[in-house]
């Protein structure tokens, strides 16, 4: 391997290690988030509150879009990602009400 190729391989390895660490952070963060949303779902079911709160969801999506812009992340991707998470949370909340 040439020096340039060796250096490129080392840089690639560093990037992949960072990506792996960040993936772990994402998974553990999502796990923690869902612990809280599960508690919210149980509380909503206990008090016969609707599983969905469209006003709160819209606020959260707008907030995440702003954060995405600050983080130099595509706001459309951030919106799609949070929308997916919200749909999953609502699904869990509905299960608590069954």
Assign 1 a pLDDT band (cuts: 50, 70, 90). low
Neighbours of 3 (CB within 10 A): 7
- What is the C-alpha to C-alpha distance for residues 17 and 55, in angstroms, rounded to an integer? 39
Contact 51, 90 (CB under 8 A): yes
pLDDT digits (tens, 9 = 90+) for 16-37: 999 999 999 999 999 999 999 9
Q: What is the mean pLDDT of residues 65-80?
A: 94
Q: pTM to 2 decimals?
A: 0.79
pLDDT of 6 over the 90 cut? yes
Tokens of 63: 């907030």
Q: What is the mean pLDDT of residues 1-20?
A: 94
Burial status of residue 79 (CB atoms within 10 A of its CB: 0-12, 13-18, 19 or more): middle
Place of tokens 């796990």: 31
- Could you give the 3-state DSSP secondary structure of residue 49? coil
Tokens of 36: 């809280």
Q: What is the mean pLDDT of residues 45-70?
A: 93
pLDDT of 67 over the 70 cut? yes
């Amino acid at each position: 391997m040439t020096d340039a190729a060796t250096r490129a391989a080392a840089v690639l390895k560093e990037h992949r290690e960072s990506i792996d660490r960040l993936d772990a952070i994402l998974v553990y963060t999502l796990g923690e988030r869902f612990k809280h949303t599960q508690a919210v779902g149980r509380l909503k079911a206990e008090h016969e509150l609707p599983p969905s709160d469209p006003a709160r969801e819209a606020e959260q999506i707008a907030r995440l879009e702003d954060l995405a812009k600050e983080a130099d992340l595509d706001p459309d991707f951030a919106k799609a990602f949070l929308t997916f998470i919200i749909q999953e949370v609502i699904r869990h909340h509905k299960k608590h009400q069954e």
